[in-house]
Chains A and B, each alone.
Chain A
Amino acid sequence: MADDGVNTKVEAVSKATTETIELRTEDGGVFDVDKPVAMEFLILKSFYEDEGRVFDKTSIRLPNVKQLELSKVIEYCTRALEFGAKSAAAAGDKDAERMVRQEREGFEAEFVDELSNEMLKELILAVNFLDIKEMLDFLIRSVANRIRNRSVAYVRQFFDIENDFTPQEEDQIHQENAWAFEGVDAD
């Protein structure tokens, strides 16, 4: 299997008996995704359920998603489903439940550590488009963790926000919100 090129075909979760669906990203990536994972994307789920279509191996184009993001999404959703199954199996056994929880936390910490700020933002947009509630929640938490206790300048730079205030307006806001800025250092 070739790595990191255009038209990379990625096999997600090798189970020969599972149905798969082919997803094409806007930059030419092609992914074979297992049905259970694909059904986590509510945008796909409603496509199949609303239209009453049979789940055959048609190819679906995802116009707003690039291949790097999709591969990350597939990775997360696949593991999330696995953890869900492990959790269910461990139900009632407090030690086993704790172990699954810790394993999941470890995976999530590693997953998000590897993401640059840019990647995190792109993933949020992709996941929002694909409508994957659990992963969106996870990403939102991660963003909040990254900007918590940071200076305004840092947060602006993080989100690429342009400061469109005039100096007078900035003064005004400062007056208005001085009570929230006490004791804050830069970055």
Chain B
Amino acid sequence: MGDSSNLDLISDLPQSIIESILTRLPIRDAVRTSFLSSKFRYRWAALTHLVFDEDCVPLSNDRALFEDKLINFITRALFLHQGPIHKFQLCTSYLQSCPEIDQWILFLSRKDIKELVLELGESEWIRIPSCLFKCNKLICLELFRCELDPPPTFKGFMCLKTLNLYQVFVASDAIESLISSCPLLENLSLSYSDSLTLNIYAPNLKYLCLEGEFKDICLQNTPLLIAMSVAMYMTEDIAEHMQQSSSCNFIKLLGSVPYLEKLTGRIYFTKYLSIGDDRGRLSVTYSHLKIIELYQVSFEDMKEILVVLHLITNSPNLKELQISGSSNTLAAMEATDLDFWDKECPSPCLFERLKVVKMTEMSGVPHEMEFIKFLLERSPVLEVMSIMPCPSVMDGRLNMLIELVRFRRASARAEILFIQC
């Protein structure tokens, strides 16, 4: 048998391991380790990652009491804490705006905070206090449902690499200048901050995610962008308003992203891109673009499919293409101009790297079928073409299949998968 001396196997582990263990515990458990032994008494207080949620305090039917307890818990934990705090996360729908939050943020601004995540309840959005803008070591900031109003003296977060704003009420010029004053910004995600007009100036930006109703987006300076995902909601009058202006949305969004590798567009994205003057062909080649995913593409809108064509013919290294349709079959069935594809794209154009194509929500309308035919004819290394019809289209499926079978394939290896659903 081993020696009977009490081998305390944890207290002498390196602080980093103990901290890792404590960090993975709910904060309440971590605080309770103060009871274990004198060595442990204040170990929890040196944790640099603090994550709070409603599990910190026992459940209670009395909502006001529960809120008070939670506020008390967080305040006490912060008060007893020693040393820097690198991450502070508070996610709970049980807390609304309260004066203590301002104090917590003030406290954190003095503790070298690097990562801040704040997600509170929906009914009363908090106004982010100006002391947040003094957290000059911030690397990652995530805010949900709040009002953001940077003070005029704010010069930017010099270390900020990630910014996620979800349903944040902020003025267009405020967010524009916030973005442009964060020189190291690499990841930007803006969701549902409606009616923004954005000029994005972010020389180090690599990943961009935009969701919501934007009046106008222009990527003014994002030369290093690698991946872009846009879900564009548009009302009729915004679309009308855009038609009036002569600027070309395609160029504003995709005019200077030469290193783009992945593009994802949803809702009205292709429609948005199709708006505006497109005098003369764009001369941008997307030589790094490998994956294109476009959803809700309306194949009866000639301008939209011209956008699709434009994208794929300017991406010589495209490997994977996914298109989800959204065609109003009545209008689309009367399609004219079916030699559009060959007309717009003269013979030598081949998709030399295209391996996988997925077409979903297909209604079988003429332009959709022509597009599939077009791709099959011009993709010499294609491996898979998968087609998923729209669940509501039942009668047209056989016709779709009959047409598909006839199409010539440039690639002997190409498999056509018709996926029933």
Contact = CB atoms under 8 A, between A and B. Distances in A.
Interface in A146-160: 147-150, 152, 155-156, 159-160
Contacts of A80: none
B37 A179 contact: no
B260 to A, nearest CB: 18
A164 B41 CA distance: 11
Interface stretch (A57-65, A81-89, A170-178): A170-178
Contacts of B9: 121-122, 125, 159-160
Contact of A155 (B6, B26, B36): B36
Contacts of B8: 159-162
B262 to A, nearest CB: 12
Contacts of B241: none
B17 A184 contact: no
B32 A177 contact: yes
Contacts of A136: 17
Contact of B10 (A149, A159, A180, A182): A159
Given A140-B17, A180-B31, A182-B57, A164 B24 contact: no
Interface string B1-42: 000001111110110010011001110110111111110110
A7 interface: no
Interface stretch (B69-77, B198-206, B332-340): B69-77
Most buried by A among B6, B17, B77: B17
Contacts of A165: 35, 37-38
A168 interface: no
A155 B37 CA distance: 11
A156 B17 CA distance: 17
A163 interface: yes
B80 interface: yes
B346 interface: no
B29 A147 contact: yes
Given A121-B10, A124-B13, A161-B36, A179 B76 contact: yes
A143 interface: yes
Most buried by A among B10, B37, B76: B10
A128 B15 CA distance: 12
Most buried by A among B7, B13, B24: B24
Contact of A177 (B20, B26, B34): B34
A183 B57 contact: yes
Given A147-B25, A183-B58, A164 B38 contact: yes
Given A161-B40, A165-B38, A179 B14 contact: no
Contacts of B29: 147-150
Given A144-B21, A179-B72, A179-B76, A163 B58 contact: no
Contacts of B58: 182-183
Contacts of B28: 180, 184
A141 interface: yes
B17 A128 contact: yes
Given A159-B9, A162-B6, A184 B25 contact: no
Nearest to A166: B38
Contacts of B20: 137, 140
A162 B77 CA distance: 25
Nearest to B2: A118
Nearest to B55: A149
A179 B31 CA distance: 10
The 9 closest A-B pairs by CB, nearest first: A183-B58, A144-B24, A159-B10, A180-B31, A152-B35, A121-B9, A179-B76, A140-B20, A161-B37
Interface of A: 92, 121-122, 124-125, 128, 136-137, 140-141, 143-144, 147-150, 152, 155-156, 159-165, 169-170, 173, 176-177, 179-184
Given A150-B29, A164-B38, 6 more contacts: A144-B21, A147-B29, A155-B33, A179-B73, A180-B73, A180-B77
Interface of B: 6-11, 13-14, 17, 20-21, 24-26, 28-29, 31-38, 40-41, 57-58, 69, 72-73, 76-77, 80, 320
15 contacts: A121-B10, A140-B20, A140-B24, A144-B21, A149-B29, A156-B36, A159-B9, A160-B6, A160-B10, A163-B37, A165-B35, A165-B37, A177-B31, A180-B32, A180-B77
